[in-house]
Amino acid sequence: MPVITELRFSPTSFEMGRVLSAGDGGRMELERLVPLGTAMVPFVWVDGPGDRSFEAAVRKHRSVEDFQRRQQLDGLTLYELTWATDGDALFKALTEVGASLLRGVGGEDGWQFEIRFPDRESLATFQHQLTDAGIRFEIETIYDAASVSGGDGSGVTGPQREALVLAAERGYFDVPRRISTKELGEELGISDQAVTERLRRGISALVAETVQSGPANGSED
């Protein structure tokens, strides 16, 4: 059965992280990865309207073949990065075990990846390959891909549901808030950034399955 895991990496533990850490680009989020021959070309959203010094620093990195600004929207800038992936053990391992990178968010404090593996055996192989390559990582959660639907059509995953319920019980949604994401993370055994991401994605899933798919304006209450 396919499994999904959330892992954290330091920004300098894998080649793409080192490339994007060449300049202080702030928070980044992978939009998608596009296969191009034997390479993987990521499209990355970066906080801010575009920083020339950041762009120049990334282009100077020894692994970078091209780094182009593609779009600007709501204070974010979309870049296309072409880099030599042959030295990136992380992406090599992902390819070899047939895993799919669902999401990646990062910055100078580290990167969090959400990855789908064909089964738990491929996940174990992936872990061994990273360890052999000297890449340090932290597994924040593992769950069966079948749990993504939440079993009730909400679209909320098990880990997201756990974070949402705990946040509600502890007063995170109260005004004023009675607990921080750091404190929630300590209870869940994950980082405060991971808590923030789970809450955001969980709320997004709930909105998509309830508010956005609910009755149109003008319908009876």
What would the pLDDT profile of 22-37 be if each residue is shown by its tens digit? 766 578 888 776 655 5
Segment 178-204 shows an average pLDDT of 85
Distance CA 135, CA 10 (A): 9
Q: When comparing pLDDT for 50 and 27, which is higher?
A: 27
40: Cβ contacts below 8 Å, ≥ 6 apart: 33, 34, 85, 91, 95
Burial 138-155 (b: 16+ CB within 10 A, else e): eebbebebebbebeeebb
Residue 125 has pLDDT above 90, yes or no: yes
User: For residue 138, how far is the Cα from the chain centroid?
Assistant: 14
pTM summary value = 0.69
Residue 214 has pLDDT above 70, yes or no: no
Residue 8 has pLDDT above 80, yes or no: yes
What would the pLDDT profile of 156-165 be if each residue is shown by its tens digit? 777 888 889 9
Provide the pLDDT confidence category of residue 185 given band limits of 50, 70 and 90: confident
Distance CA 137, CA 140 (A): 10
